[in-house]
Structure 1
């Protein structure tokens, strides 16, 4: 299919594919999400799975044809808001996404379902007729919808590198360092949690659920803390991103700070054991 390659996160025997990256979605003809046997229901400590979810979400947002099977079908279901359960025909499996048409069941598991341009098969091995049907339906040129802000930043990997740099700066800072030191004990878990928040905020997979104001209530954060937070975040963003991408994420950060922050010199709140941004 000239000019519109079929993408896959890893090579699949019998398929002619190219490596799937967030950047490649803009010129792709479709996306495969093959079975890999990895978890889907719980990916809190798996940045690689977050990246895969973000990739699938980007394809769905762009209106690309997506063929997913096995745990790939569970990933597609999760992206579409379905609950994921363990112990299906190929490991984790997704319940029926809202609006999807189920065409085959295996017990309680929706074995084959379709919605929009997504086709999902819960089994670990994809039937040949489904492969042929998918290939026959691939257009020479696929209508595109705009990509997500996360894609504009370069995807989850670029975002995570930015956040790691920011936290290195913040931990060494005389104003912010003590705040983080008082509330964060596991920095790897904290980076995972905050990456999930930003992935969700920037239009990627819905990995974070919570109330931003409630999470930060009572942390003792005052106006000067937020100003310094934005200053260091800006330094990290400009160090890792092109100017337009840095401006994009800094606009989001500024809006978030406006929601959270008391006025300059404001009283703030007392200590609280919750996570800090």
Structure 2
């Protein structure tokens, strides 16, 4: 850790090691990212471009598997990035529910006080306990240099992938061409999202979560090439907006290859929309 920086999103002193202010450009070489409590809102960030920028930075760290230690409002930011619901604090900092798949190690009433998900360790309290600080630094000292893992890890893991897919389907459902198709064929969106998640986890090297035949799943919908092209365009937009072009590349490349195969098998009525 001595040759690479430990980043922080807010000015921080007395942490025990030198820290530098975080930026997107510094993330690839960062040893870790600290997201301290800053007392600013998380649940409602309308008209707050500074908070959106911070969320984008934190999402970039998660995608790159940079170890993150967040507390107070920082923990709520981390939860929001991972798709968790954030609740306004009552006389205290906003706090997040535990993200899907997170391990909660300590509760304080209904608040998940200490939780971990992927590279993130989050403490909902406004003051970071000394044992968590020491544990995080020890983990950084022992960590091997990060190397690119599976495409799923490049994307940012399952929680980030699910958030991106939910965003894509929100766009598709609102689309004048694709919306009516989904409305006619999908009634239970949570189950549908689970199924699509399993497909993409498998396609991105995350294990055999999905088994099936892509053509048979989408047969009989009577869709044409215009639907497929629109699906691919919206998918690329959602992936690049949520993940950034670099992290989105494994997804968009596979989506385009999948579209090509479907087009060949189903011409001239191509485009069985997933």
The normalised TM-score by structure 2 is 0.54
Deviation readout 1:8-27 (Å, 9 max, x if unpaired): 11221212211111110000
Q: CA deviation at 1:42?
A: 1.6
**Alpha-carbon spacing, 1:208–1:52, altered in 2? closer, same or farther (3 Å):** farther
SS in 1 for 2:89: strand
Tell me what 1:4 maps to.
4
Tell me what 1:83 maps to.
85
Q: CA deviation at 1:81?
A: 1.0
> What does residue range 148-167 of structure 1 map to in structure 2 within 5 Å?
none
CA contact (8 A) 1:64 1:144 kept: no
Aligned equivalents of 1:107, 1:95: Cα separation in 2: 12
> What does residue range 1-277 of structure 1 map to in structure 2 within 5 Å?
1-15=1-15, 16-87=18-89, 90-138=92-140, 139=142, 141-145=144-148, 211-212=170-171, 217=176
Aligned equivalents of 2:70, 2:91: Cα separation in 1: 14
Aligned equivalents of 2:80, 2:61: Cα separation in 1: 14
SS in 1 for 2:107: strand
Tell me what 2:224 maps to.
none
Q: Which runs of 5+ in 2 are unaligned?
A: 150-160, 178-244, 257-274
Q: CA deviation at 1:47?
A: 1.0
What is the number of residues matched between the two proteins? 176
**Alpha-carbon spacing, 1:19–1:123, altered in 2? closer, same or farther (3 Å):** same
CA contact (8 A) 2:10 2:38 kept: no
**Alpha-carbon spacing, 1:76–1:68, altered in 2? closer, same or farther (3 Å):** same
Aligned equivalents of 1:135, 1:49: Cα separation in 2: 26
**Alpha-carbon spacing, 1:118–1:213, altered in 2? closer, same or farther (3 Å):** closer
SS in 1 for 2:126: coil
**Alpha-carbon spacing, 1:98–1:215, altered in 2? closer, same or farther (3 Å):** closer
- Per mean C-alpha deviation after superposition, the further-off stretch among 110-119 and 25-34 is 110-119
The normalised TM-score by structure 1 is 0.54
Q: CA deviation at 1:91?
A: 1.4
CA contact (8 A) 1:63 1:145 kept: no
Higher relative contact order (CA 8 A, sep 6+): 1
Q: Which runs of 5+ in 1 are unaligned?
A: 147-202, 219-243, 256-277
CA contact (8 A) 2:115 2:121 kept: yes
What is the root-mean-square deviation of aligned Cα atoms in Å? Answer: 3.6
